[in-house]
Chain A
Amino acid sequence: MAADNTHSAPANPVDIPWDAVLEWGLALASTGLIVSGAIFVLAGALGVLRMPDFFTRMHAAGMTDTLGAEFILLGLMLQAGFSQMTLKLLLVAFFLFLTSPTATHAIANAALKSGLKPQLGPYKAPELSEIEGKTPSEGAH
């Protein structure tokens, strides 16, 4: 019977383990999302530290935090599956998506109204002699 079967219609030459393929596919998809989101968040933090002016710092923080947070939460949602956890992660993503740009806008508006002027024109790095002898809080602006 078995010999007859293999003779007329050859069985699967490679038995594909679909469960493992699905598991690894999901794992790789969420890995890509989480790692790219973490890199975005890290780039935002680096921008907040290194940018020369308050408004450029705000740009770095506001843009990258929104995108990076959504990426990371999407990657976690893929791992949580259809469960209560996914609903909660969806809520976190929704709130962050609403509040992060709003808070950034509020900070920018408050800074502009309080008289903080943005640096205009091309950025000119300060000379080393200008930086020396200053405290870090003075030199950073």
Chain B
Amino acid sequence: MADEFLLKVYVAAAVLMMVGMALLLVRLIAGPALYDRALAVNSFGTKVVLFLCLFSLMNGRQDGVDIAILYALMNFIATVAILKFFRYRGLTGPMTSLPGSSKFDRLREARRQKEAS
């Protein structure tokens, strides 16, 4: 009895999650800036994780939650990788700040000028 009621609750929450995913897809396609799209992808990933958890408890299976753990971690790494790629146009740059503005860059530049003079 309570299980049937909870099944309806799970289905309702999953439907709400899918509506939210559809709204985020609109922002993902129409987003004017790159960062709007990165934000939409990140938020979409969070909703996918929640949907997977709901789905696996709906079916009483454990596999979906394992995938959700992996998805949560990969979503974060993917977001940071996208941002880093579009800032440095590569994935091997420094992570501290913009090139030229960090302390190490300024020290290196000062040393180069000293050697040149």
**A interface, CB within 8 angstroms of B:** 23-24, 26-27, 30-31, 34-35, 37-39, 41-42, 44-46, 48-49, 54, 57-58, 61, 65, 68-69, 72-73, 76, 79-80, 84-85, 88-89, 91-92, 95-96, 99-100, 102-104, 106-107, 110-111, 113-114, 116, 136-138, 140-141
Contact = CB atoms under 8 A, between A and B. Distances in A.
B33 A54 contact: yes
Contacts of A79: 6, 57
Interface residues of B, number: 50
B39 A107 contact: yes
B42 A96 contact: no
A45 B112 CA distance: 50
Report whether over half of chain A's contact residues are helix, strand or loop; otherwise say mixed: helix
Interface of B: 2, 5-6, 9-10, 12-13, 16-17, 19-21, 23-24, 26-27, 30-33, 35-36, 38-40, 42-43, 46-47, 49-50, 53-54, 57, 62, 65-66, 68-69, 72-73, 75-76, 79-80, 83, 86-87, 97-98
